[in-house]
Amino acid sequence: MLAPDDLVWPLFAVPGERVRTPVKSMPGVFQLSVDELVAEAQAGFECGVRGVILFGVPEHKDAQGSGAYDDNGIIPRAVRALKLKVPGLVVMTDVCLCEYTDHGHCGVLRPPRAGGPGQDLTVDNDATLPLLAREAVAHAKAGADLVAPSDMMDGRVGALRRALDEAGFAEVPILSYAAKFAGAFYGPFRDAAESAPREGPGIPKDRKGYQMDPANAREAMREVALDVAEGADLLMVKPALPYLDIVRGVKERFDLPVAAYHVSGEYAMIKAAAERGWIDEDRVALETLLCCRRAGADFVLTYYARHAASLLTGIRR
């Protein structure tokens, strides 16, 4: 079965007012100022969508991603507005640095080697953890119901759990992107979040150093087990359709709620084929989400959330 409250809607928050910028590679998806985002979430809520996950595009980016853990940054502002204006909505927040760093990676880069030129071609895992923890606490202070680390740094679930507990937010759950693969389906998201790795001397060209090998299912299960041991409350597999075997494996092995993220590239492919008249968009979208549920996902993050909810309920907003 597929119901509107099985769906979580990703939304992109940007600075300003009355901003509604279309994402060209994702028809129907927009970068939204906080006022527009609140209106969009309200419309989705009226159609039956009870949860959103927020991604932020800051006014300024730097090497440390400082906008990610600013208590008055774009995501805390959006969270506060949603909790005030859309009572009952479950507000989840993505915890990562990629939208906030000027190099586009999910963690801080190592400084130049002593006596050697250029940057080290790795992300500094351990230096990133306290920054992610600060980001999670900033979101919790603003009222986030749930935080979702997507960075894939080793040990980040434990770091977030300790920081949240110490800050008085022991009740805030962690939805871990526990099995996030270094696949080719993220391009449109990186347009929307302005988070593609920047080309430059010594900057890693991709995220294969910390995201997972698409061929390695056993590694996925090990990564999930580590996150569970560190205190994850919910588990996510990303992307969805190419990894439904992983969704099923996680569901069968671990006694925690499981999410599947129907990512931007999967959404864009349906949109592109539908625009050419090759498929029935509504039927394909609903079948896709249903299959995620059938594989074992307790809920699905999808850019189709509002539209699918409208199809399921007959409510149009």
3-state DSSP assignment of residue 51 = strand
3-state DSSP assignment of residue 262 = strand
Instruction: Give the active site residues.
Output: 180, 238
Q: How far is CA 222 from CA 78, 219, 228, 229, 302, in A?
A: 35, 5, 10, 11, 26
How deeply is 113 buried, as exposed, middle or buried, from its count of CB atoms within 10 A (0-12, 13-18, 19+)?
exposed
* Cβ pair 50, 87 in contact under 8 A: no
Distance CA 91, CA 50 (A): 9
Alpha helices (H) along the chain: 34-47, 74-85, 125-142, 156-166, 187-193, 217-230, 244-253, 264-275, 281-295, 305-313
Residue with tokens 């309200």: 42
* Cβ pair 125, 55 in contact under 8 A: no
Distance CA 317, CA 307 (A): 10
Under DSSP, the state recorded for 71 is T
* Cβ pair 92, 145 in contact under 8 A: yes
